[in-house]
Amino acid sequence: MDQPVRHAQHTIGSRTPLVDGIDKVTGRARYTADLPFGETLVGAILRSPIAHGVIRRIDTTKAKAIPGVRAVITGEDFAAPYGVIPIAQNEWPLARDKVRYRGEPVAAVAAVDEATAQAALAAISLDIAPLPAYFAAADARGDGAVPLHEKKLGNIEREVDHVFGDVDLGFAQADLVREQTFHYAEVAHGQIELNAAVAEYEPERGRLTTHSVTQVPYYLHLTLAQCLGMDSSSIRVVKPFVGGGFGHRVEPLNFEMVTAALARAAGGAVKLELTREECFLTHRGRPETDIRLKIGLKKSGQITAVDCEIVQRGGAYGGYGLVTILYAGALLHALYKVGAVMYRGFRVYTNTPPCGAMRGHGAVDVRHAFESLLDSMAHELRLDPFALRRTNLITPPHRTLNDLQVNSYGLPECLNWVEQASTWKARRGKLPRGRGFGLACSHYVSGSAKPVHWSGEPHAVINLKLDFDGGITILTGASDIGQGSSTLLTQVVAEVMQLPMQRIRVVATDSALTPKDNGSYSSRVSFMVGNAALRAAESLRRVLVDAAAKRLEVSPDDIEWLGECARVSGTDRTLDFAGVVNAALADAGTLTVKGTWSTPKETQGGTFRGAAVGSTAGFSYAATVVEVVVDEDTGAVRVERVWVAHDCGRAINPLAVEGQVQGAVWMGMGQALSEETQYHEGLHLRPNMLDYRIPTIVESPPIEVHLVESLDPLGPFGAKEASEGAIHSFAPALTNAIFDAIGIRLNDLPASPDRVLGAIVARQREERLRRAVAAAKG
């Protein structure tokens, strides 16, 4: 009873290294390809050399006859097609009947070694009758174009037509109306870990275990059951360490189902590792996008109306496509107060690798268009870009025109900080030619308020296990893919229970152990799983307080919970943690308590078609200022410095939030400056890390981060998302800065040296022509 009282721990708000960081820096962390499985077969995939065609025959006879080949499969070996969206499932793990892009998987083998597997692939003969193929959205939509999919005339996967308010009136009330078109190259996630899966099939029991690189083990679990025609209770999905995702691994990916089907066909264990080239072909990146945008402004800068049309080249299959085209409209305008909005969106099927979700899903390109046109119109109206934004700020709680709920809004503070930190007022307009400043704002969801697979169950569930060793184990289906979610959950539980983090372990994402979770995408984990962890910890704390009260023979109201110790208020009677645990478990045995969380109804969006996309329980906000130097002789753009303020509600782990914000800004920079995929007749021309130009450490600038804590009323401890909000504002801040530097607006990204130089040369030509005409007239 005379134990020294340990003081309460505070973990929320402290800069906390990752709970699995030591594993990563020592090389002990095991990723999928590192796992020891004993003897496994080698899986390999045969891919279509044709961009669009009818499969007449796949002859696997010779491949099957090669010694050491244990399985050869085709599309006929699957029970059903798949797709991440339940209403758009039109993809087979291996193509059936038709191929729709160059590099699409058509057959697969499992063999005793790599050389035998490759020999088997070479021995498969394909007979594919080519069809006309379309590599641009405009061609796929053209008259008489052959539909890639049945019942999809004009190759339109999804058309969106949304009108909110009186758009004609809004433009009539405007003092300045401007319209501009924009073009964005397709980009890819480029996570450094190559895709890999290991599937073990037990023929005796008819059970499958799959280890994979997935961000959402639950989607993979559902899809494996569906494509293999198995009961999902016979399948176990485990997510080891994952080397980044950025959206690439949200959807179940063809190679994961292929590996499982090979393991079943071979009756054993199969490991399938994709090359970097195959990772690019698996794709699911941000689509090539064309935007036409019209904005009406009052002289004050007030936005009276917005009219936007977007065409996305979606690639060959549905995937996330309809969500991407809906996000583009939903997040077009909702960070400002606007008078009226019209949005038309077209998601188009083409004979290119399927696009999907990528960090800032659907909203990055449209944010560039919007913030660029605002900047250009501010220039025309002689308004400061900050002043224009401030004219259109909203006051929470606020319902946007498209029925999105805003409960916290730190954008004003974000603007204030980047303005001051960049010394905008003192320096802008006084910089030498070739050097410029640009501003842009952005926002993003903290998880989709309505998940895609949902029958009304809680959005997030956390189990906490307390055992006789005095340790607490967090059992979660949330995938830590490097963003630090396991650390965040540990901090939340430690804070509520006032315990040292050392006492807490995390077991993440093994479907045999952890509760179902919707996974790591749309920045949902901090908000949703964080809330579930908060509630689970409160519940376990109540159990411990009650047990201590019983043991100390007082009312629970008389117990002061000091974390490692319970004390009877106003006395020196205490029970140490071991005693509390013993009291709690003596009668019940090992305990598991649960915490759940769901989004409130009012955050789930409106009732119009497509209203769920964009709805969230909490929006993050960001403002970014970029300083650039442009070399007018070469077109090279160098980012000198970036200042970014991000409203994350509350920084549960400021160290990790900073890291997320820096990573988001930098990924935005890659897309803005150098990254683009490229195809020739459907053949990927840049399927490697040299031709697909991810910025190196040499061209990456200092990124100064400021965190704004707006304390969201629904977020755990007020927290909102931190990983995606800031990616959107980089590209427009960059091109606005390029305009400030050299007076040229780049509406075609990336702003690679050839494009910048092209724009400079075009302007010089125009100036010469103008002078010549003037001279001729004069």
Q: Which stretch binds other proteins (CB under 8 A): 158-166, 505-513, 600-608, 661-669?
A: 661-669
Does residue 451 have a cis bond before it (omega within 30 degrees)? no
Measured N-to-C along each axis, helices 727-742 and 364-380 cross at an angle, to the nearest 10 degrees, of 30
Task: Verify binding: residue 421, other proteins, rule CB under 8 A.
Answer: no
If the CB atoms of residues 611 and 623 are measured against other proteins, the closer one turns out to be 623
If the CB atoms of residues 563 and 659 are measured against other proteins, the closer one turns out to be 659
Residues 6+ apart with CB under 8 A from 214: 220, 237, 239, 242, 249, 252, 253, 256, 479, 519
Q: CA triplet 289, 295, 300: central angle to 5 degrees?
A: 145
Q: How many CB atoms lie within 10 A of CB 325?
A: 29
* DSSP-derived 3-state class of residue 378: helix
Contact 717, 534 (CB under 8 A): yes
Using CB under 8 A, which of 86, 203, 429, 702 touches other proteins? 702
User: Cβ of residue 356: shortest distance to other proteins, in angstroms?
Assistant: 17
* DSSP-derived 3-state class of residue 589: coil
Task: Verify binding: residue 203, other proteins, rule CB under 8 A.
Answer: no
Q: Which of residues 575-634 bind other proteins (CB under 8 A)?
A: none
User: Cβ of residue 722: shortest distance to other proteins, in angstroms?
Assistant: 12
If the CB atoms of residues 481 and 568 are measured against other proteins, the closer one turns out to be 481
Q: Per-residue DSSP letters for 272-308? A: EE--HHHHHHH---BPEEEEEEEEEE-TT--EEEEEE
Contact 650, 479 (CB under 8 A): no
Question: What is the rounded CA–CA span in Å between residue 500 and residue 10?
Answer: 9
If the CB atoms of residues 606 and 695 are measured against other proteins, the closer one turns out to be 695
Q: Which stretch binds other proteins (CB under 8 A): 167-175, 405-413, 519-527, 657-665?
A: 657-665
User: Cβ of residue 508: shortest distance to other proteins, in angstroms?
Assistant: 14
Beta strands 504-508; 472-476: pairing state? parallel
User: Cβ of residue 347: shortest distance to other proteins, in angstroms?
Assistant: 26
Residue among 266, 331, 333 nearest 296 (CA): 333
Contact 388, 380 (CB under 8 A): no
Using CB under 8 A, which of 319, 482, 718, 732 touches other proteins? 482
Q: Per-residue DSSP letters for 442-491? A: EEEESS-SS-SS-SS--SEEEEEEE-TTS-EEEEE----SSS-HHHHHHH
Interface mask (CB under 8 A) for other proteins, residues 432-471, using x and -? Answer: ----------------------------------------
Using CB under 8 A, which of 89, 90, 116, 191 touches other proteins? 191
Residue among 601, 617, 615 nearest 649 (CA): 617
Residue among 163, 178, 66, 169 nearest 117 (CA): 66
Residues 6+ apart with CB under 8 A from 515: 461, 462, 463, 475, 476, 477, 594
Q: Which stretch binds other proteins (CB under 8 A): 432-440, 552-560, 564-572, 697-705?
A: 697-705
* DSSP-derived 3-state class of residue 686: coil
User: Cβ of residue 138: shortest distance to other proteins, in angstroms?
Assistant: 32
Using CB under 8 A, which of 134, 246, 336, 527 touches other proteins? 246
Task: Verify binding: residue 667, other proteins, rule CB under 8 A.
Answer: yes
Task: Verify binding: residue 665, other proteins, rule CB under 8 A.
Answer: yes
If the CB atoms of residues 282 and 603 are measured against other proteins, the closer one turns out to be 282
Rg (CA), the chain: 28
User: Cβ of residue 643: shortest distance to other proteins, in angstroms?
Assistant: 13
Using CB under 8 A, which of 276, 292, 516, 551 touches other proteins? 276
If the CB atoms of residues 243 and 345 are measured against other proteins, the closer one turns out to be 243
Q: Which stretch binds other proteins (CB under 8 A): 57-65, 204-212, 559-567, 687-695?
A: 687-695
User: Cβ of residue 695: shortest distance to other proteins, in angstroms?
Assistant: 8
Query: Dihedral of CA 261/265/269/273: which sign?
Result: negative
Task: Verify binding: residue 275, other proteins, rule CB under 8 A.
Answer: yes
DSSP bridge partners of 643:
625, 704
Task: Verify binding: residue 502, other proteins, rule CB under 8 A.
Answer: no
If the CB atoms of residues 404 and 669 are measured against other proteins, the closer one turns out to be 669
Using CB under 8 A, which of 42, 71, 120, 242 touches other proteins? 242
Three-state helix/strand/coil letters over 21-49:
HHHHHHCCCCEHHHCCCCCCEEEEEEECC
Q: Which of residues 10-69 bind other proteins (CB under 8 A)?
A: 17-18, 20-31, 33-34, 36
The b/e string for 268-306 (b: 16+ C-beta within 10 A; e otherwise) is: bbbbbbbebebbbbbbbbbbbbbbebbbbbeeebbbbbb
Residue 67 DSSP code: T
Task: Verify binding: residue 703, other proteins, rule CB under 8 A.
Answer: yes
Task: Verify binding: residue 690, other proteins, rule CB under 8 A.
Answer: yes
If the CB atoms of residues 22 and 65 are measured against other proteins, the closer one turns out to be 22
User: Cβ of residue 360: shortest distance to other proteins, in angstroms?
Assistant: 15
Beta strands 341-349; 303-315: pairing state? parallel
Does residue 556 have a cis bond before it (omega within 30 degrees)? no
If the CB atoms of residues 119 and 131 are measured against other proteins, the closer one turns out to be 119
Length of the chain: 778
Using CB under 8 A, which of 696, 774, 775, 776 touches other proteins? 696
Q: Which stretch binds other proteins (CB under 8 A): 116-124, 481-489, 498-506, 734-742?
A: 481-489
Using CB under 8 A, which of 662, 671, 747, 752 touches other proteins? 662
User: Cβ of residue 691: shortest distance to other proteins, in angstroms?
Assistant: 9
Task: Verify binding: residue 193, other proteins, rule CB under 8 A.
Answer: yes
User: Cβ of residue 684: shortest distance to other proteins, in angstroms?
Assistant: 13
If the CB atoms of residues 140 and 478 are measured against other proteins, the closer one turns out to be 478
Using CB under 8 A, which of 223, 463, 479, 483 touches other proteins? 483
Query: Dihedral of CA 772/773/774/776: which sign?
Result: positive
Task: Verify binding: residue 641, other proteins, rule CB under 8 A.
Answer: no
Task: Verify binding: residue 484, other proteins, rule CB under 8 A.
Answer: yes
If the CB atoms of residues 77 and 278 are measured against other proteins, the closer one turns out to be 278
User: Cβ of residue 774: shortest distance to other proteins, in angstroms?
Assistant: 48
User: Cβ of residue 27: shortest distance to other proteins, in angstroms?
Assistant: 2
User: Cβ of residue 661: shortest distance to other proteins, in angstroms?
Assistant: 9
Q: How many CB atoms lie within 10 A of CB 326?
A: 24
Task: Verify binding: residue 507, other proteins, rule CB under 8 A.
Answer: no
Task: Verify binding: residue 659, other proteins, rule CB under 8 A.
Answer: yes
Residue among 45, 207, 22, 192 nearest 120 (CA): 45
Using CB under 8 A, which of 82, 218, 241, 346 touches other proteins? 241
Q: How many residues bind other proteins (CB under 8 A)?
A: 55
Contact 104, 316 (CB under 8 A): yes
User: Cβ of residue 367: shortest distance to other proteins, in angstroms?
Assistant: 19
Q: How many CB atoms lie within 10 A of CB 122?
A: 12
Q: CA triplet 646, 187, 670: central angle to 5 degrees?
A: 50
If the CB atoms of residues 34 and 457 are measured against other proteins, the closer one turns out to be 34
Alpha carbons within 13 angstroms on the beta-carbon side of residue 435 total 9
Largest CA distance in the chain: 104
Contact 356, 187 (CB under 8 A): no
User: Cβ of residue 275: shortest distance to other proteins, in angstroms?
Assistant: 5
Residue 708 DSSP code: E
> Which residues contribute to the site for other proteins (CB under 8 A)?
17-18, 20-31, 33-34, 36, 189-194, 241-244, 246, 275-277, 481-484, 655-656, 658-659, 662-663, 665-667, 669, 688-690, 694, 696-698, 700, 702-703
